[in-house]
Amino acid sequence: MNYHYITIEGNIGAGKTTLAHLLAKHFNARLILEQFADNPFLPQFYENPKQYAFPLELFFMAERYKQLKELVYTKDLFQSITVADYLFTKCLLFAKVNLPEEEFRLYQKFFDIIYQQLVQPDLVIYLHAPVSKLQQNIRKRNRSYEQNIPDEYLFNIQEAYTNYIRQHNVKTIFIDAGNADFLSNPKHFKVILDALEKDYEAGGQHYFMLP
C-alpha cells in the first residue's frame, strides 16, 4: 500500500472508529483512537453549549496534540502504517461551529501554532452519511450525553467538514456511507481496501459508493 498515515474522518456517528479498528487489524497498523471519554467538559457541553464550548475545545485540542505528537513521532519497527480515527484539523472545524467569533479567533491562534508541529496524514477517508443515519448510529451506541443532539448541529458539522476538504484540496477517499456496515458486510470493507490500492494525485476527492 502507498500510504503510511491514514486518517478516517466523518461526522458524529459516521462509523470512524469501527473502520479504524478494521483497517488497523488488516494492515497490522498502529492505531490512534480519540480519547473523547476523557474530556470532562463533554456532558456539560451538551447541556449548556455556550458556557462549556471553549474549555471543551481547548481540552480536545491539547489531548489530540499530545496523542498525535507522541504516537506519530514514535518509530515502530514492526508497524509501518498508522491509522487514526480523527484529523487534527477537526479541532478547528468543531470550534468554528461551537465558538462565538472572538473566542474562535483566539482559539485559532493556538491551533495555528500547534498545527505546524504535527505530521499530516497521507490520505483521509471521509465517511459521509445522512443525518438520519447518524442519529440512528448515535442512538445505537447509547452514550447518554449524545442522545439529544439536534439535527441542525449535525448538519453544521457536516458542512464544516465538506467545505474544508473541498477548499483545501485534501487528498480524500470520499465514501457514501449511508448504508455502511463494515463489520457485517465484507463487500463494504472491500470497497475501502480496493480504494487504498490506488495511487491518487497530490490532492482532490475520489468518490466511492458502497454496494
Q: What is the 3-state secondary structure (H, E, C) of 88-111?
A: CCHHHHHHHHHCCHHHHHHHHHHH
C-alpha pair distances (Å), 13 with each of 3, 26, 177: 25, 22, 11
Q: Is 85 a catalytic residue?
A: yes
**Residues paired with residue 7 on neighbouring β-strands, in sequence order:** 84, 124
- Kindly state the DSSP code that residue 130 receives in the 8-state scheme: -
Q: CB 25: neighbour CB atoms within 10 A? A: 11
Please name the residue ranges forming H helices in the chain: 16-27, 42-47, 49-72, 90-98, 101-115, 131-141, 151-167, 186-196
The tally of CA atoms less than 13 A away on the side-chain side of residue 35 is 12
Grid coordinates standing for 15? 462509523
Catalytic residue among 76, 85, 176, 194: 85
Q: How far apart are CA 147 and CA 189, in angstroms?
A: 28
> Across-strand partners of 121?
none
Q: Which distant-in-sequence residues (6+ apart) come within 8 Å of 85 by Cβ?
A: 7, 8, 16, 17, 19, 20, 32, 33, 34
- Give the active site residues: 85
